[in-house]
Amino acid sequence: MRENFTVADLAVGDATLHVRHGGEGPPVLLLHGHPRTGATWHRVAPRLVAAGFGVVCPDLTGYGRSAGRATSPDHNAHSKRAVAGDMAQLMSALGHDRFHVIGHDRGSYVALRLALDHGHRVDHLVLMDCIPISEHLARADARFATMWWHWFFFAQPGTPERVINADPDAWYLGDPETMGAENHAEWRHAIHNPQVVRAMLEDYRAGLTVDRAHEEADRAAGRRLQCPLLVLWSLRDDLEELYGDPLEIWREWAADLRGHGIDCGHHMAEEAPGALADAVTNFFPPPTGSPLRTIAPRLA
């Protein structure tokens, strides 16, 4: 990515986003999860470019090298609505009116909000290891609280900052061999920045408050995704263990739905880049001039 992609810092409203972009063809916006940066896509983005797509890999607002806005008591400054608005402005600044979106982990919640709030701009949506935040919380029980306890720990005021910043390496446990050396170095630089840690925690605090409220308002209003949705999940992670088939939950949110599991752990872009790239390129319409492909979608 360093050799074939343009790297820039672009002012977007009251944030400055660090972004890599490259390739020609239909644009694809890739949104990483916690605690990664846009470098997590380093094994996927070149595959998408080779398949005929343009790719845009930002650091989410406040993550990595993207300078975020000041925190707010109501957490709106770090809400998925605010960050999705940043991503929409970024794509406009790069000259992309319509685009595909891929989101993983926390980035998947931003991608969902982008498709709900800016649906006229999103052609196809891919969500990885994700059900809506409100759906998680509606089903929260002792097992969920035990397995996903970090959601509630991160929501506490002040304490998680002190714990994480005392030894970020011990808290996050990154592996340079699995992640790739440069991706690991960039990630490690980010987690040692207390401002980044604070922004990442504000992401979770917004999730339990304002983001949940926004999703519940969507459901009350009967809003659904208007674009085709592909849901992918890691077979060696815990989404199926918690909920069974994630598509059963997503049917209430999307009319055009398909999805399947991929045999890997949680960080799919790093652990199974080939399977991930194949899944999304078979889901997206072929770029102009590309050979026709036989697609066998898993329709819900």
Closest CA to 126 of 235, 31, 54: 31
Annotated active-site residue in 118, 184, 260, 266: 266
**Six-digit token pair at 234?**
């890691």
Annotated active-site residue in 59, 105, 129, 237: 105
Lay out the sheet containing 99-104: strands in order across: 6-12, 15-22, 54-58, 27-31, 99-104, 122-128, 229-234, 257-262
Rounded to whole angstroms, the Cα distance separating 41 from 21 reads 11
- Four-point Cα dihedral 42, 48, 54, 58, nearest 10: -30
For residue 211, indicate whether it is catalytic.
Answer: no
Angle at 34 (CA atoms; ends 162, 58), nearest 5 degrees = 120
Angle at 126 (CA atoms; ends 207, 287), nearest 5 degrees = 145
Instruction: For residue 247, give every residue at least 6 positions away whose Cβ sits within 8 Å of its Cβ, in sequence order, or none.
Output: 231, 257, 258, 259, 300
Cα distances (angstroms) measured from residue 156 to each of 201, 204, 216, 244: 9, 10, 22, 30
Specify the 3-state DSSP secondary structure of 242. Answer: helix
For residue 169, indicate whether it is catalytic.
Answer: no
Q: Tell me, what DSSP letter sits at residue 65?
A: T
Rounded to whole angstroms, the Cα distance separating 135 from 145 reads 14
Could you give the residue numbers annotated as active site? 105, 266
